[in-house]
Amino acid sequence: MKIFKFGGASVKDAEGVKNVLSVLQKVGHEDVLLVISAMGKTTNALEVVIKHYFEKSPELKASIQEVRKYHNQILLELFEDDKHPVFRAVNVHFEELDYFLSHNKSPNYNFVYDQVVSYGEIISTTIVSHYFNHCNMKNNWLDVRQFIKTDATYRDAIVDWEQTHKLISKNVKKKALNITQGFLGSDENNFTTTLGREGSDYTAAIFAYCLNAESVTIWKDVPGVLNADPRYFENAVLLNQISYREAIELAFYGASVIHPKTLQPLQRKEIPLFVKSFINPLLPGTRVYKGADLEPQTSCFIVKKNQLLISLSSIDFSFIMEENISEIFALFHDYKIKVSLIQNTAISFSVCIEDKFGNFPELKKILSKKFKVSYNENVSLYTIRHFTEKAAQMVEENKTVLVKQISRETLQVVAKE
């Protein structure tokens, strides 16, 4: 079996859905499991719904209606007959969403977040599955929440591999086209969980691991893995093939093409990963597989925007020792703070962090009891793998460099634009 993953950009409108059908007609669709994300910017739109819900805003209904309108427009362009069963199927999902928002008693933001944003994927795959059947591409729609079981860490759930493996290996139909959702799972009480933003790639890897898949292909609007994000760097070039190790390094530093958790399960079973273009599906793209000699022959650039650079120093000028650092990292773990870079001196400790859950203000209060806390907001972290002097100069040009670290192969710079 092959696993294909299509992200939100590939199904952002009716033409996109038609193109996914066309891609499958060109590359084959028998014995394929399709993992599909929410359409376009639906997740962002549902985040607005959640914001209005918690603010008890009068705009709540209007924000839900925006999401309905967007999907209804796609339906009307895909199906000539508005009596087609897909219209009712999608409407049922919106009714479920309305019911949840009017009956929920939990004040837990992360719990509510997962129950609400999940409708993006559920509705997206419902539309795609019905359209494929409409075009005589028969398929099975699977609710991924019945297959991927997790703990109850809402918004960043941890997979229960043993249970998930049993459910997937026993229940996924082989020699057929299966369509399911990325990003989602469910906990032991069958409440929806999510695997972290951009977690659909990880979903594809989970299914690949459990099904001993032949390969995983991530279909994107770029020709493959590039050595730099073309939004921020000019003259980006395609990396034709890279090792798992190199891909994991790039993902760890924040490369957006491959989700960081995607590669580990694939590497364990040596399942190759392809990153290809849904615009030109017959091009070879990038192949990620086992091999020590697959390092890129060019510098690779990664930038993470909207980071925080925090400097902690001892109030009484005493050394910051191992026990202090251990305590600080325990707090980072408790507050779900992702650390991207560390630098310390005798009496200070600096970290570049990503605060995706908005927990830093609360954490700062706790840290301030023991340390002097200073920080820079909205900094950018630049990472260059296989750096050269020329590459370093290009990144540092016209920026205020706050921290710079160099290892054998990697240069990292925290800078203000």
Nearest in space to 23 (alpha carbons), one of 15, 262, 238:
15
Record the tokens describing residue 10, joined without a space: 């590939």
Residue ranges at the known binding site: 231
| Spatial distance between the Cα atoms of 33 and 176, rounded to a whole number of angstroms | 8
3-state secondary structure of 303: strand
Q: Are strands 410-416 and 371-385 parallel, antiparallel or unpaired?
A: antiparallel
Query: What radius of gyration, in Å, describes the C-alpha atoms of the chain?
Result: 23
Record the tokens describing residue 72, joined without a space: 């209804």
Quick one: DSSP state of residue 173?
A: P
Please name the residue that has the structure tokens 């969980």.
193
Record the tokens describing residue 401, joined without a space: 């460099």
Q: Is 7 left (phi over 0), alpha (psi -120 to 50) or beta?
A: beta
Residue ranges at the known binding site for ATP: 231
Per-residue HEC secondary structure of 85-103 comes to HHHHHHHHHHHHHHHHHHH
